[in-house]
Amino acid sequence: MYGLARPLLFSLDAERAHALGMASLEAAYRTGLNPLLAAKPKPLVTKAFGIEFPNPIGCAAGLDKNGAHIDALMALGFGFVEIGTVTPRPQQGNPKPRMFRLPEHEAIINRLGFNNLGVDALVRNVERSKREGILGINIGKNKDTPNEQAVDDYIYCLERVYDLADYITVNISSPNTQGLRDLQNEDALRKFVHELRTAQEDLASVRGHRVPMLVKIAPDLSEAELDGIAEVFNAVRIDGVIAGNTTVDRRMLGSHPMAAQVGGLSGRPLYEKSTTTLRRLRLRLDDNIPIIGVGGISSGADAVGKVSAGAQLVQIYTGFIYHGPQLIGECVTALRRRKEGVA
Q: Which of 223, 150, 226 is nearest to 193 (CA)?
A: 150
- In DSSP notation, 244-292 reads ---B---GGGTT-GGGGS-SEEEEGGGHHHHHHHHHHHHHHS-TTS-EE
Report pLDDT for 255.
92
The more confidently predicted of residues 3 and 45 is 45
The residues assigned a catalytic role are 174
Domain presence at residue 237 = yes
Confirm if 325 and 294 have CB atoms less than 8 A apart. Answer: no
Whether 25 is covered by a domain: the verdict is: no
Domain membership of residue 92 (yes or no) is yes
* 2 occurs within a structural domain: no
In angstroms, the CA 23 to CA 20 distance is 5
Residues whose CB falls within 8 Å of the CB of residue 157, separated by 6 or more in sequence, listed in order: 86, 87, 88, 119, 139, 140
Where residue 174 falls among pLDDT bands split at 50, 70, 90? very high
Is 70 exceeded by the pLDDT of residue 253? yes
Contact between residue 292 and residue 315 where contact means Cβ atoms under 8 Å apart: yes
Name the pairing type of β-strands 134-139 and 264-267. unpaired
Q: How many alpha carbons fall within 13 Å on the CB side of residue 78?
A: 30
The predicted-structure confidence for 258-298, as pLDDT tens digits, reads as follows: 999 999 999 999 999 999 999 999 999 999 999 999 999 99
Residue 150, classed as helix, strand or coil, is helix
Report how many domains make up the chain. 1
Do β-strands 240-243 and 291-294 pair in parallel, antiparallel, or remain unpaired?
parallel
Q: Is residue 31 part of a domain?
A: no
Q: How much is the mean pLDDT over the chain?
A: 97
Gap between the Cα atoms of 68 and 205, Å rounded: 30
Percent of the chain with pLDDT over 70: 100
Span 79-84, average pLDDT? 98
* Cβ-based burial of 7 (10 A; exposed 0-12, middle 13-18, buried ≥19): exposed
Residue 22 in domain? no
Inter-CA distances, 184 with 18, 193, 227, 233, 324, Å: 30, 10, 11, 11, 33
Q: Please provide residue 302's backbone torsions phi and psi, each rounded to the nearest 5 degrees.
A: -65, -40
Summarize the confidence of residues 12-21 as an average pLDDT. Answer: 97
Query: Tell me, what amino acid is at 280?
Result: R
197 exposure class (CB count in 10 Å sphere: 0-12, 13-18, 19+): middle
Position 343 scores a pLDDT of: 60
251: in domain: yes
> What is the pLDDT averaged over residues 96-107?
97
CA distance 80 to 55: 8
Residues 65 and 85: their CA atoms lie apart, in Å, by 6
**Does residue 15 lie in a domain region?**
no
Nearest by Cα to 323 from 48, 44, 57: 57
Question: pLDDT (tens digit, 9 = 90+) per residue, 108-152?
Answer: 999 999 999 999 999 999 999 999 999 999 999 999 999 999 999
* Longest CA–CA separation in the chain, Å: 55
Peptide bond into 254 cis (omega under 30): no
Q: What is the pLDDT of residue 27?
A: 96
pLDDT of residue 342: 76
pLDDT digits (tens, 9 = 90+) for 193-202: 999 999 999 9
Q: Is the pLDDT of residue 5 over 90?
A: no
Q: Which domain holds residue 53?
A: 42-340
Q: What is the CATH number of the domain that holds 245?
A: 3.20.20.70
The string of pLDDT tens digits covering residues 289-338 is 999 999 999 999 999 999 999 999 999 999 999 999 999 999 999 999 99
CB atoms within 10 A of CB 15: 17
State yes or no: pLDDT of 50 exceeds 70.
Answer: yes
